[in-house]
Amino acid sequence: AAVVDGKALFFVRCAACHGANGLGNGPVSLELGRKPANLVAGPFVWTPSGDALDLRVSRVIKFGLIGTDMPGHEVLTDAQVLALKDCVLELRAGR
């Protein structure tokens, strides 16, 4: 199986809203009803409670968040979702 580059995928799929560094300040963020999540500092206030953080983040990436501007990315493969999840959690760990 091919290795998915989560950082490259982040720049293509996420940076417009969340910003290149995940701070929630991407160029599209000014046009949204709610500011995108700061993926570095969090908290991930819109993720459902209960499951482990990596599972919650994966679900948000795949299915989005109802009532927010966070869209689902159902067209992504599971490997792509997991690579994006790893990238998001690396941003958070690197604060």
Q: Sorting pLDDT into bands at 50, 70 and 90, what band is 63?
A: very high
Q: Say whether pLDDT at 45 is over 80.
A: no
Angle at 70 (CA atoms; ends 69, 72), nearest 5 degrees: 130
pLDDT digits (tens, 9 = 90+) for 32-44: 988 898 999 877 6
Separation in Å, CA 26 to CA 2, 23, 56, 88: 29, 8, 22, 15
Q: Say whether pLDDT at 54 is over 80.
A: yes
Separation in Å, CA 6 to CA 48, 59, 81: 23, 16, 8
